[in-house]
Structure 1
Amino acid sequence: MAGASSDSLAAARQALEPTLASGGLQLARDLFSTLDVLDENGPLRRALTDPSWTVERRSGVLRSLFSGRLSEQALQVLTDLAGRRWSGERDFGDAVEQLAGTAVAASAERDGLSGLDRLSQELLSFHHVVEESHEVQRAITDQQAPAQSRGNLAERLTGNGSEEVRLLVRQAVENPRGHKPAELVRRFAAAVAGRQRQWIADVTVARPLSDEQQRRLAEGLRRTFGRDLKLDVTVDPALVGGVRVKVGDDVVDSTVATRLHDLQRKMAG
């Protein structure tokens, strides 16, 4: 999402923060439930993003479709989005999905930063389970199986996970909207980390790290990148060099690579 759509989403997120924070999981469920309608109805998407339509007309369309089916808070979110500018018609649905994810994160945040940290870790753990098993990948993407059955399997894979993680993984598996479910779960995890004002650092190591080594690595990366990072650690015995770090789309350049070698020496004590 870029241009006008990115600006509109950022503005909507800020304007709707009180609603997203108080709406809880019911608000998230309501918003997620609208995505099928939005994704399958091209004329509706075009109407909601057509700048020649007045805001009142767009809001009226939404209320005629969803009034009585959604909470007033969910309608408030949708009508706010309908009053903003979008670069592409599909960006509207993407914005709804992202704000639903924000509502889930806000629900976890009621337990403080520990709740956000728990949810982020649960999502990353689910992502690892899926990525490490071709059998699981096939099962949760099998279009011959009912969506609800795939969602039930995803929930079971979270073990005793929170209600928030169960909702997000079920959404990712039942309605991935063109993405791989594991990829969408990873995006949800990044959004949760963002609410903690953190980035996720994908760390690949040749050998498992002790708790102390992870602490040292996290501290060193914080100094290197200038902000707190949440480590998502994967072990790959074939890795040459011992450790590789990727943050977002940034490529680790030679200068940072040198710093990482310094970190490795420090981690070794």
Structure 2
Amino acid sequence: MNGASREALAAARERLDALTDSTSVDAGSLADELAAVTALLDREVGLRRVLTDPAQFGEAKAGLAQRLFGSQVSGPAADLVSGMVRSRWSQSRDLADALEELANIADLTAAQRAGTLDDVEDELFRFGRILTSNTGLRAALTDRKASVPAKVELLHRLLGGRAAATTERLVVRLVSAPRGRSLETGLDSLSKLAAERRDRLVAVVTSAVPLSDAQKQRLGAVLAKLYGRRMHLNIDVDPEVLGGIRVQVGDEVINGSIADRIEDAGRRLAS
């Protein structure tokens, strides 16, 4: 998103945080309602354009949103959508993209309240790795000829009882409505949102052998000092790393042996 849309999304996220800070608001139900509005705006392009028309007064658009959604979703959800259409959006699609992001954040907030956010982060990462290694599963979940109910049933069989409820909800929503993205891109976005709830970065660590708890703690501490943020480590084992590790934080990739990288990082911190 650019310009006005980025500012509008930031304001909407602040309003969502204020809503979900209240224990009277069911964050999971709010996520479902925002996802439903997203789906409607994806289908009804004309409506989306009306609600983001810069030539229309914000209050008029907010009133229309209240009339359309007030009887379909809860008061908090309707108020949130109304506030969003008062804002200016660079493109009409940005409104739907923002609503989808808010729905995902609301679900992650529900997981945070339940104390399962760490599990959700790990499970999203693991599911992405399973897709990478299992081309048959990926094909089944992305087959345009397969029905959405069939894909959802497959996901329920795979994840039901094995993953956190929030993980299952997020993955089902992503597969049901990919909105032009690959599954890998969608899962990566969800992982970043999950990490953001803890105000921390995600480091994807690929090592030749499993790391011990002590090595994970030491590596996490060093990376946290280097980047100035708390760090969540997603660990993947790949024998082709040949005794070293590969660490990716955002677009930056660090290669080298565990000992060498930790020692080098220590020297950099001490200098």
Moved more, 219-228 or 234-243: 234-243
- Confirm whether residue 208 of structure 1 aligns to residue 210 of structure 2: yes
Q: Superposition RMSD on alpha carbons, in Å?
A: 2.3
CA shift, 1:2, in A, is: 2.5
1:103 to 89, 101, 106: 106
Aligned to 2:88: 85
The verdict on how the C-alpha distance between 1:54 and 1:244 changes in structure 2, with shifts beyond 3 A counting, is same
Q: Give, in whole Å, the separation in 1 of the partners of 2:188 and 2:207.
A: 19
CA deviation profile, 1:141-178 (whole Å, cap 9, x unmatched): 11111112212222332242222112111101100111
Give 1:122's aligned amino acid: E
Q: Does the Cα contact within 8 Å between 1:66 and 1:75 map onto a contact in 2?
A: yes
Where does structure 2 lack aligned partners over 5 or more consecutive residues?
Answer: 266-271
Letter aligned with residue 154 of structure 2:
L
Q: Does the CA contact (< 8 Å) of 1:122 and 1:158 recur in 2?
A: no
1:19 counterpart residue number: 19
Q: Which residue of 1 aligns with 2:2?
A: 2
Separation (CA, whole Å) in 2 of partners of 1:62 and 1:200 = 37
**Identity rate of aligned residues, in percent?**
34
Q: Residues 51-70 of structure 1 correspond to what in structure 2 (within 5 A)?
A: 51-70=54-73
Q: Structure 1 158/264 Cα, relative in aligned 2: closer, same or farther at 3 Å?
A: farther
Deviations 1:91-135 (A, max 9, x none): 101110111111111111213xx4221221222222222222101
- Give the alignment of 1:1-269 within 5 angstroms: 1-21=1-21, 22-111=25-114, 114-160=115-161, 161-239=163-241, 242-252=244-254, 261-263=260-262
Query: Residues 210 and 258 (structure 1 numbering): CA distance in 2 closer, same or farther, change over 3 Å?
Result: closer
Contact 1:126 1:157 in 2 (8 A): no
TM-score (norm 2): 0.87
Structure 1: gaps (5+ residues):
none
**Which secondary structure state, in structure 1, belongs to the residue aligned with residue 71 of structure 2?**
coil
What is the rounded CA distance, in whole Å, between the counterparts of 2:173 and 2:241 in structure 1?
34
Runs (4+) of structure 1 exceeding 6 A deviation are 256-260
C-alpha contact (below 8 Å) 1:126/1:158 kept by paired residues: no
SS at 1:92 equivalent: helix
Secondary structure in structure 2 of the residue aligned to 1:51:
coil
Structure-1 separation of matches of 2:208 and 2:257: 18
TM-score, normalised to structure 1, is 0.88
8 A Cα contact 1:155 1:169, kept in partner: no
